[in-house]
Amino acid sequence: MKTLFGTDGIRGEAGKFPLDAPTVKLIGASLARYLKTVSSKSPSIIIGRDTRESGDWIESSLVEGSSHAGATCLSAGVITTPGVAYLTRDLQADAGVVISASHNPYHDNGIKIFAPSGKKIPDEVERYIEAEITANKQSDAVVTSNERLESVLTEDALRNRYLKFLSDNIGAGLSLNRIKIVVDCANGASSALAPRLFETLGASVVAINASPNGRNINLNCGSLHIESLQSRVVAENANLGIAFDGDADRSLFVDEIGTFVDGDATLWVLSNQLLRRNRLKGNIVVATVMSNIGLEIALRSRGVELVRADVGDKYVLEELLKRDASLGGEQSGHIIQPELSLAGDGMITSLCLLRAITESREPLSKLTAELSHYPQVLVNVRVREKVDFEQLSTVQEAVTQVKERLSTNGRLLLRYSGTEPLARVMIEGPDQHEIEKYAEQIAGRIRSEIGV
């Protein structure tokens, strides 16, 4: 069982275990050693980071460990998570590493590792690295070294390579000449990239929260704080608002009248676009257990099956590949189209949504009109330990009662966060007041049993 790697890599407070300098060096060394066991050549690693102030020293520590263990490191500097995934695949590197904590506040950071395919590394590699950390094998990792990153390509060249892929491949034939977009970059990795991309394709762009200072990433902005984007879209009379998170692997949207468009609604629009082109393989869309039952009902009306995976884009991708499906994602805005990228990419999703808008000649509000969201409530409870819910008798009693009351008119999901010490209680049903009462009832039982 893994203890450090969650559903999206290692994440925690920068400077504290496992994101202290010695452990980060060990992670770099361990990754390099593993890569040497599966390749006859010196392994190459692409590294990128978001805008957190801790990113630079974490990158230096990672490079020191991996270089000393025999790897060649190439830095793309500040770049999106999917940008690293693309470059790893395009440059045929042995691994890609992203230093980011995604939507978390600036004092957190994280390490995500990609395989040469652009997929997240398999569990066996994560277990290998964890075993070395646990055994504290620091012989290669803590040696002080002046080795820095190779500079075969400059950071600008790598970022431009990724932007060219987005504009010339994903955006091929897409004209945004009459489109006005407000882009909330969350003061993160997309700040210098997203406005350039959309302007290259002809859009009029209003960029907000695109001035990172190391500490303002995700601060009252981006995909977790959509309200300011909503008001700005209306004020600017824009066609679309786009909100990224800190590393831009997810995107959420605001339509032309200021209405929030989540990942479920994005899946609805993109699935209809693929249906029109007869390119929705197997008439399947992969979502997660968190997706609203309204999406399932709407897709069913189109003859499309909604397949639910565990929470985490890693598990969505596994299900997509297993079923040879063409579209999947999460309510939070991670959208994956395997034919375009094996990583969730907020800028790819944005381009695909813009294509749906321009080709249909319909505003986004019209494209989402047939999707109805059932009322949904999500309550997070901070816990001191993650105990199997079935072992918590009072919690199980409340769950049974709520399921009986919801019957077939709603849905209850109880799960732990993969990245934080949180229990999540999610309930959907026809009556908002009723489901809020049910969720608080279950959350109260969890607090009594294992709450902090």
State the burial class of residue 190 (Cβ atoms within 10 Å of its Cβ: 0-12, 13-18, 19+): buried
Domain with CATH 3.30.310.50 in the chain: 376-450
CATH topology of domain 171-367: Alpha-D-Glucose-1,6-Bisphosphate; Chain A, domain 3 (3.40.120)
Contact 319, 325 (CB under 8 A): yes
Average pLDDT, the chain: 93
Name the maximum alpha-carbon separation found in the chain. Answer: 65
* Average pLDDT, integer, range 161-185: 98
What confidence score (pLDDT) does residue 151 get? 44
Strand order in the sheet with 305-309: 305-309, 284-288, 328-329, 335-336
* Average pLDDT, integer, range 135-149: 49
Measure the CA–CA gap between 123 and 126, rounded to whole angstroms: 5
6 pLDDT band, cuts 50/70/90, is: confident
What confidence score (pLDDT) does residue 153 get? 66
Classify domain 5-157 by CATH architecture: 3-Layer(aba) Sandwich (3.40)
C-alpha dihedral, 107 to 157 to 203 to 351, nearest 10°: -70
Classify domain 376-450 by CATH architecture: 2-Layer Sandwich (3.30)
pLDDT at 288 over 60: yes
Whole-model pTM over 0.75: yes
* Average pLDDT, integer, range 279-286: 97
Domain with CATH 3.40.120.10 in the chain: 5-157, 171-367
What confidence score (pLDDT) does residue 334 get? 96
Contact 184, 229 (CB under 8 A): yes
What confidence score (pLDDT) does residue 201 get? 98
Q: Which of 118-127, 175-184, 333-342, 378-387 is predicted least confidently?
A: 118-127
Contact 171, 194 (CB under 8 A): no
Helix (H, G, I), strand (E, B) or coil at 43: coil
Q: Which of 150-164, 310-324, 340-354 is predicted least confidently?
A: 150-164
8 pLDDT band, cuts 50/70/90, is: confident
pLDDT at 149 over 90: no
Give tens-digit pLDDT for 402-421: 999 998 778 999 999 977 89
Residue 145 vs residue 354, higher pLDDT: 354
With a CB cutoff of 8 Å and minimum separation 6, the contacts of 369 are none
Measure the CA–CA gap between 56 and 49, rounded to whole angstroms: 8
Give tens-digit pLDDT for 198-234: 999 999 999 999 999 999 999 999 999 999 999 999 9
Residue 63 vs residue 138, higher pLDDT: 63
What confidence score (pLDDT) does residue 138 get? 46
Percentage of residues of the chain with pLDDT beyond 70: 96
Residue 152 vs residue 56, higher pLDDT: 56
Q: Is 271 a catalytic residue?
A: no
User: By 3-state DSSP, what share of the chain in percent is helix, strand and coil, each rounded to 5?
Assistant: 40, 20, 40
For residue 362, give the amino acid letter: E
User: Which residue among the candidates 67, 100, 102, 191 is catalytic per the annotation?
Assistant: 102
Q: Output the CA torsion sign for 435, 441, 446, 451.
A: positive
- CB count, 10 Å around CB of 379? 19
Which one, of 316, 448, 331, lies nearest residue 378 by Cα? Answer: 331
Strands 108-114 vs 9-13: parallel, antiparallel or unpaired: antiparallel
